[in-house]
Amino acid sequence: MNKKELVAKLAEKTGETQKVSEKMVNAFVKVVEDELAQGGEIKLIGFGTFKVSQRKARTGVNPKTMKKMKIPAKKTPKFVPGKELKEKVL
- The mean of the pLDDT values for the chain is 95
**Cα dihedral 39/42/72/65 (nearest 10):** -150
Give the pLDDT score at 90: 85
Domain range annotation of the chain = 3-89
Domain 3-89 is of which CATH architecture?
Irregular (4.10)
Strands (E), the chain: 42-44, 48-55, 58-61, 68-71, 74-81
Q: What is the pTM of this model?
A: 0.79
Residue 21: pLDDT band (50, 70, 90) is very high
pLDDT tens readout for residues 23-70: 999 999 999 999 999 999 999 999 999 999 999 999 999 999 999 999
Three-state secondary structure call for residue 42: strand
Q: Does 76 have pLDDT greater than 90?
A: yes
Of the candidates 69, 39, 41, which has an alpha carbon nearest to the alpha carbon of residue 57? 69
CA distance linking residue 86 with residue 76, whole number of Å: 22
